[in-house]
Amino acid sequence: MKAKGLAGLVQTGALVVLSVLLAIPSQMPVAQAATIEITPISTIAEPLLDSYVTIKGTVLEAGNFSKGFRFVVADDTGRIDVTYFESVFDTLSKPELVRVGAVAQITGRVDEYEGKFSIIPNRGKETLVFSNTVRTVDHRELGGLNNGDHGAIILVEGEVHSVEKFDNGVDVLIFDATGTQKVRLYNVVAARIKKDVLVTGSKVSVTGKVKATRKFGLRIDVALPSDVVVITSAGLKQQVVPTATVKVAGKP
């Protein structure tokens, strides 16, 4: 009887323990993400100067300068520049996702220059991208570009004919079946593009802004490293391009 009683007690105890374990999940609090106060862009003004704020909006424009990259971000209330210095840009987990069309949450310090406010992030992990929307741009043939395209954002594809360095970057001459065009990469961009892209024979896709000048003709300025994508590496494709076939679009 004692053995039977003990067995019954153990069995009963097991049921009790099992019941407790099953009850735990329903009684435990559900973990929730930390609440971050989002600052409407229109409210960013003098009182917030040098303080840290978090905004959430859509990236409308992208560009670069000698020491980093600059974006225009907008929400329902307004727009503001967001400046990433090189050291911070390089800490972004996926910098290629921070581009025009993306919806991002960004934390940074409020700065002011010549009466214009901006946000300067100091840690890449404080930029979160919520959507990977790809913007729609015109896909153009190189030979079809002209001075009337000045300021337009376009997508072109071509093969690298030559790479020429200058003080602030490199000019990459690319060609397709219709013509040839110059693609300008400033140092801040060129330094972050894979080496196999900037070599003769590679086929690349380039998104950039057309710039037309009387003195230098047409060129395509690239804003971000991710705007240049290798389609075929020169190591996989070899083609000799006669110099005589190269003609810069927009020039006689």
148-202 pLDDT, tens per residue? 999 999 999 999 999 999 999 999 999 999 999 999 999 999 999 988 788 999 9
User: Does 15 score more than 80 pLDDT?
Assistant: no
Residue 63 confidence (pLDDT): 97
Question: Tell me, which fold does domain 41-131 have in CATH?
Answer: OB fold (Dihydrolipoamide Acetyltransferase, E2P) (2.40.50)
Residue 235 confidence (pLDDT): 60
Residues of the chain with CATH 2.40.50.140: 41-131, 138-245
- 141 pLDDT band, cuts 50/70/90, is very high
User: Does 6 score more than 70 pLDDT?
Assistant: no
**Per-residue buried b or exposed e for 27-60, using 16+ beta carbons within 10 Å of the residue's own CB:** eeeeeeeeeeeebebeebeeebeeeebebbbbbe
- The span from the CA of 147 to the CA of 152, in Å, is 10
Question: Tell me, which fold does domain 138-245 have in CATH?
Answer: OB fold (Dihydrolipoamide Acetyltransferase, E2P) (2.40.50)
- For the question of whether the overall pTM of this predicted structure is more than 0.85, the answer is no
pLDDT digits (tens, 9 = 90+) for 52-103: 999 999 999 999 999 999 999 999 999 999 999 999 999 999 999 999 999 9
Q: Which of 8-17, 163-172, 220-229 has the lowest mean pLDDT?
A: 8-17
Phi, psi angles (nearest 5°) of residue 145: -80, 145
- Mean pLDDT score of the chain: 84
- 236 pLDDT band, cuts 50/70/90, is low
